[in-house]
Structure 1
């Protein structure tokens, strides 16, 4: 006797059928109720509702014939890449820029003020890169400059862990993000020079 049907078996069969038909992995995950932790594409893909319905109807027609109730129109999108208004970007980045201008107005900053300014500039740079790439909030984002090729404007991102799926992607950086990365590298070089005048303890002697 064959095993009885279960929701899990039905989902797996549907997922296998959709894949053999050339369906996008994100659509497969959405139509079978997979979590983003197991289907990486769901983190950063926007899907048209009409396309989801088209694939679902195709599956039903292939297995149950043509006697289907008509599906209602479904304009709009699902997913995490829904466009944000430019006014929101301007408000967020403008507030960060004003804070940076205030800390940079100090002519002879103390070490603690240098640290505060550096941390603020780090947050500004991270925020811009997050908005430019859709990078998920993880423990160590953008940790290697080698992942960024400013000559071509490309960045390699690995911000998720999945089973059986690739957890990385290559993106084109907008001009503003490329320019900010160049400013960031210049900032690190200047910071090294500024900190050289202070008698800072060596990490090798720290206990």
Structure 2
């Protein structure tokens, strides 16, 4: 029992999507066939709405009971969607979804340096949804003597309510009645329909739990922590959605409202690229302008190093320590990072140290060696002692020539908060940049979002360290270089060799 539970827990933590409760390709082919058959001419409103409900659940990942509470309406093309009700909307003859996106509920304050986010996601309707919506609107209009219209106040998306769910369930249960392999009971429920899209989004190349949650509105336990990091662009979400549903349907149009395209979805604390470039420029200027004073030179070098490493390690910047050069395994390039306390004990995660971070650690150690040679004997001894440890030496030189040690929180504040960014800004920013460029499994391990204790590295984990390292090695240095992070020192303010 214990082993089975642990395997299930680790499987969930590693975001492995498919299981016996999910619809297979055969199931999907049968669903498509039965929707096409039942929605043919002559079908009554209950059957038509059951077909629409089934297909909407399939291609939005929303539970049918949630879809029943939604509305249908027409909006002017230039109008802002804002906080209008969830549902299906028609703009200039083009159908689309306006749905609440899954996002952290406890993020309230928004700074100007952060990407603007929307609580709603716009998704173009698929061709099948658009066709069935038109048929249902026409049917509702004909059965109400022309009194039904969607151009005024929002109308219920489904007029037949729970009867549509009942009919949909019967349609699912009736799949392949003549076949020997009766439909698995777990795949004949309304819940099974809503499970298909999240599995497709996660199983796709570069699939990630954050955009999958944003699109489907489902926030499973494994996503509740990951969703706090990394706002994803609206356009990027739509591209992922289009790729995921391509096997069963296609988008009916690509006309996206302008207010949707300029917004991001999810995390409210992801800094803009402009804010990060400004941070790098200010820290680099500090290195260039501190050449003649040892205390200022060290402070500038420490700030730049801490800031770069909080980005490269996705460090929380609030507790624990930042690894030193000597904490990195010489052969694998891996090291442990302990930057969070859970239930009174330190939780740790294993990170891969990219070439940019490794070079910065080396430059920082060389800088400390030069500094050590130019200070008093007492100060030199303190610096020598801190250099030999596995934690990055963090200190400042006092006017009297002494050494004042700093903890990780203070050093991170010195490096980032003085330029308007929170201590964990790099952690939020990096998660957004890595979405789709490496696997969710690797991101869970890198961010420490697996089980407690050693997380993705405990004895029950199936994570391959070599694959994990290779996954991150393809992208980390590139992502950092694209924004302007390079290894630097006071003597080498350009990119260091």
TM-score of Structure 1 vs Structure 2, range by shorter chain: 0.5 to 0.7
Q: Is the CA contact 1:156–1:170 (under 8 Å) kept in the aligned structure 2?
A: yes
| Structure 2 residue 189 is matched with structure 1 residue 66 | yes
With normalisation by structure 2, the TM-score equals 0.25
Q: Is the CA contact 2:335–2:350 (under 8 Å) kept in the aligned structure 1?
A: yes
With normalisation by structure 1, the TM-score equals 0.53
The corresponding residue for 2:444 is: none
Q: Is the CA contact 2:305–2:364 (under 8 Å) kept in the aligned structure 1?
A: yes
Q: Is the CA contact 1:100–1:121 (under 8 Å) kept in the aligned structure 2?
A: yes
Provide the rounded CA distance (Å) in 2 between the counterparts of 1:175 and 1:200.
31
Structure 1 pair 19/166, CA: closer, same or farther in 2 (3 Å)? Answer: farther
Cα offset, 1:97, TM superposition: 0.5
SS of aligned partner of 1:160: strand
Cα offset, 1:165, TM superposition: 9.3
Aligned positions, number: 148
Provide the rounded CA distance (Å) in 1 between the counterparts of 2:9 and 2:347.
22
User: CA offsets, 1:39-61, max 9 Å, x none?
Assistant: xxxxxxxxxxxxxxxxxxxxxxx
Q: Is the CA contact 2:337–2:349 (under 8 Å) kept in the aligned structure 1?
A: yes
Q: Is the CA contact 1:132–1:174 (under 8 Å) kept in the aligned structure 2?
A: yes
User: CA offsets, 1:102-148, max 9 Å, x none?
Assistant: 111x3xx3xxxx22321221111011000001111234521654322
The corresponding residue for 2:289 is: 102
| Structure 2 residue 311 is matched with structure 1 residue 124 | no
The corresponding residue for 2:327 is: 147
Cα offset, 1:149, TM superposition: 3.0
| CA RMSD between the two structures | 4.5
Unaligned 5+ segments in structure 2 are: 17-103, 107-184, 198-211, 217-225, 233-270, 383-401, 403-497
Provide the rounded CA distance (Å) in 2 between the counterparts of 1:118 and 1:21.
44
Q: Is the CA contact 1:100–1:120 (under 8 Å) kept in the aligned structure 2?
A: yes
Cα offset, 1:164, TM superposition: 11
| Structure 2 residue 218 is matched with structure 1 residue 75 | no
* Max Rg structure: 2
Structure ranking higher on relative contact order (CA contacts 8 Å, 6+ apart) = 2
Structure 1 pair 188/20, CA: closer, same or farther in 2 (3 Å)? Answer: closer
Provide the rounded CA distance (Å) in 2 between the counterparts of 1:173 and 1:134.
11
Structure 1 pair 23/188, CA: closer, same or farther in 2 (3 Å)? Answer: same
User: CA offsets, 1:58-88, max 9 Å, x none?
Assistant: xxxx99x824597599528823145766554
Specify which of 16, 22, 25 is matched with residue 11 of structure 2: 22
Cα offset, 1:183, TM superposition: 0.3
The corresponding residue for 1:168 is: 348
Provide the rounded CA distance (Å) in 1 between the counterparts of 2:193 and 2:304.
50
SS of aligned partner of 2:350: strand
Structure 1 pair 24/99, CA: closer, same or farther in 2 (3 Å)? Answer: same
